[in-house]
Chains A and B, each alone.
Chain A
Amino acid sequence: MARAAVPGRLTGRLAWRVATLAGYRDETPTARTLVLEVPGWPGHLAGQHVDVRLTAEDGYRAQRSYSLAGPADGDRIELTVQRLPDGEVSPYLTEVYSVGDPVEVRGPVGGWFIWRPTATEPVLLVAGGSGLVPLMAMLRARRAAGSRVPFRLIYSVRSPADVLYADELRRPQPGVDVSYVYTRQVPEGWRTPPRRISVADVNSGGWPPDFEPTCFVCGPTGFVEAVADMLVALGHDPSRVKTERFGPTGG
Chain B
Amino acid sequence: MHEDGNAMAGPLGEIFTMDVTSAVERCAGCGAANPVAQLRVYRHAPGWVARCPACEQVVLRLVRGPDAAWLDLTGALSLRIPMPTR
A residues with CB within 8 A of B = 1-6, 9-15, 49-51, 65, 106-107, 109-113, 221-222, 242-249
Known contacts: A107-B10, A245-B6. The answer to whether A113 contacts B17 by CB under 8 A is no
With a cutoff of 8 Å between Cβ atoms, the chain A residues found around residue B9 in the complex are 49, 109-111
Q: Contact at A247–B83, with CB atoms within 8 Å?
A: no
Q: Contact at A14–B85, with CB atoms within 8 Å?
A: no
| Residue among B6, B17, B43 with max Cβ neighbours from chain A (10 Å) | B6
When A and B form their complex, which 5 residue pairs have the shortest distance between CB atoms, in order from nearest?
Answer: A111-B19, A109-B9, A247-B3, A112-B37, A14-B13
Known contacts: A2-B85, A5-B82, A248-B1. The answer to whether A112 contacts B21 by CB under 8 A is yes
With a cutoff of 8 Å between Cβ atoms, the chain A residues found around residue B13 in the complex are 9, 13-14, 106-107, 109
Tell me, in angstroms, the Cα distance from A148 to B21 when the chains sit together.
Answer: 28
A12-B17, A109-B9, A112-B21 known; 10 new pairs, CB 8 Å cut-off, are A2-B82, A3-B82, A13-B16, A15-B14, A110-B21, A111-B82, A112-B6, A243-B4, A245-B4, A247-B1
A104 to chain B, nearest CB (A): 11
A174 to chain B, nearest CB (A): 31
With a cutoff of 8 Å between Cβ atoms, the chain B residues found around residue A111 in the complex are 9, 18-19, 21-22, 82
Interface: B65 (CB within 8 A): no
**Scoring B residues 14 to 33 as 1 if CB is less than 8 Å from chain A, else 0, what string do you get?**
11111101100000000000
A208 to chain B, nearest CB (A): 24
**Scoring B residues 55 to 86 as 1 if CB is less than 8 Å from chain A, else 0, what string do you get?**
00000000000000000000000000011110
Tell me, in angstroms, the Cα distance from A10 to B17 when the chains sit together.
Answer: 7
Q: Contact at A247–B10, with CB atoms within 8 Å?
A: no
B residues with CB within 8 A of A = 1-7, 9-10, 13-19, 21-22, 35-38, 41, 43, 82-85
With a cutoff of 8 Å between Cβ atoms, the chain B residues found around residue A245 in the complex are 2-4, 6-7
A sample of 28 inter-chain contacts (CB < 8 A) reads: A1-B82, A2-B82, A4-B85, A5-B18, A6-B19, A9-B13, A10-B17, A10-B84, A11-B17, A13-B17, A49-B6, A49-B9, A106-B10, A106-B14, A107-B13, A109-B21, A110-B19, A110-B21, A111-B9, A111-B18, A111-B22, A111-B82, A112-B5, A221-B2, A222-B1, A242-B37, A243-B38, A246-B3
Known contacts: A112-B22, A112-B35. The answer to whether A51 contacts B10 by CB under 8 A is yes
Tell me, in angstroms, the Cα distance from A106 to B16 when the chains sit together.
Answer: 14
With a cutoff of 8 Å between Cβ atoms, the chain A residues found around residue B85 in the complex are 2, 4
With a cutoff of 8 Å between Cβ atoms, the chain B residues found around residue A112 in the complex are 5-6, 19, 21-22, 35-38
